Amino acid sequence: MNQVIFYTRNQCQLCKEAMQLLTILQSEFSFEIIEKNIDESDELTEKYGLMIPVIEMNNEIIQYGQIDYFTLQSYLKK
């Protein structure tokens, strides 16, 4: 099963919206969401702090910031 790494943080409205999109897409595509809170790691905060939310798959950042349903959908179709 494919894995989607979802980098998030507390009090992030864009992150909540992105998680809703991922949940919707899970009904169409088979993948596991692994949620990582960047506030729990200084390294992740430094790497992704200004980009949150970040969606990564196969070691590739698919989208960050404003997450778009159709962009994610087209990537998952590959």
Say what the pLDDT of residue 44 is.
Answer: 96
Q: What is the pLDDT of residues 45-75, one digit of tens each?
A: 999 999 999 999 999 999 999 999 999 999 9
- Whether residue 1 is predicted with pLDDT greater than 80 in this model: the reply is no
Q: What is the pLDDT of residues 14-57, one digit of tens each?
A: 999 999 999 999 999 999 999 999 999 999 999 999 999 999 99
Q: Mind listing the domains of the chain with CATH numbers?
A: 2-77 (3.40.30.10)
pTM beyond cutoff 0.85:
yes
* DSSP per residue, 18-50: HHHHHHHHHTTS-EEEEEEEGGG-HHHHHHHTT
Q: Could you tell me if 60 and 32 are in contact, meaning their C-beta atoms sit under 8 angstroms apart?
A: no
